Amino acid sequence: MPLVSRKGVLAIAAVIDVAMNAQDRPVSAKALAARHKLPPRHLEPVLQALVRDGILRGIRGPHGGYELAREHKHITAEDILRAASSTDEGDDMPVPPSGLVNDIVQPALAEAERSFSLALARINVDDMTRRARHKA
């Protein structure tokens, strides 16, 4: 069972791609989508959420695109996943309330989520960009 959604993985990949490729000029959504083998319409809502959360900066115009809005080391995987999750549709059925759910299951899952969140906060774009350049 994956802990990170497909949309979250794509968001992290997009931010790393921008970090690696936006030195001279912004990275276009079309170029990002092509490198990740996606239709641009799948990536655009995620990119806009990243702009809204101050992770990316959108540049308009014929040579526009996206660049990082903050330094690499100040953007964590947790920041990116939080922004990407804001694009999720709320189509999940609510969990029916019960003593077991309220008293046992939800507190246990909340603790696991806190641990996962702390781990994600220790991963930043600078580290991932360095690893990606090392692999290339």
- For 88-135, the DSSP string reads ----SPPPPP-HHIIIIIHHHHHHHHHHHHHHHHT-BHHHHHHHHHHH
H-helix or E-strand spanning residue 57: strand 56-59
Residue 99: predicted pLDDT: 74
- Using the predicted structure, report yes or no on whether residue 115 has a pLDDT greater than 90: yes
Mean pLDDT, the chain, whole residue set: 87
**Does residue 103 form part of some domain?**
no
- Displacement of CA 106 from its chain's centroid (Å): 25
**pTM for this prediction:** 0.82
**Does residue 16 form part of some domain?**
yes
- Using the predicted structure, report yes or no on whether residue 21 has a pLDDT greater than 50: yes
Residue 41: predicted pLDDT: 84
Radius of gyration (C-alpha) of the chain in whole angstroms = 17
More confident residue, 99 or 52: 52
**Does residue 56 form part of some domain?**
yes
φ/ψ (deg, to 5) at 93? -70, 140
What confidence category does residue 22 fall into, taking pLDDT thresholds of 50, 70 and 90? confident
Taking only the tens place, the pLDDT of each residue in 72-113 is 899 999 999 999 988 765 545 566 567 777 788 778 888 998
d(CA 83, CA 80): 5
Looking at the structure of the chain, the number of domains it has is 1
Residue 45: predicted pLDDT: 92
**Does residue 116 form part of some domain?**
no
Report the pLDDT averaged over residues 14-41. Answer: 89
Q: Could you tell me the residue range of the domain that residue 18 belongs to?
A: 6-89+124-135
φ/ψ (deg, to 5) at 28? -75, 155
CATH of the domain at 51: 1.10.10.10
**Does residue 31 form part of some domain?**
yes
**Does residue 79 form part of some domain?**
yes
**Does residue 111 form part of some domain?**
no
- Using the predicted structure, report yes or no on whether residue 116 has a pLDDT greater than 80: yes
For every residue of 58-80, DSSP letters joined together read: EE-STT-EEEESS-GGG-BHHHH
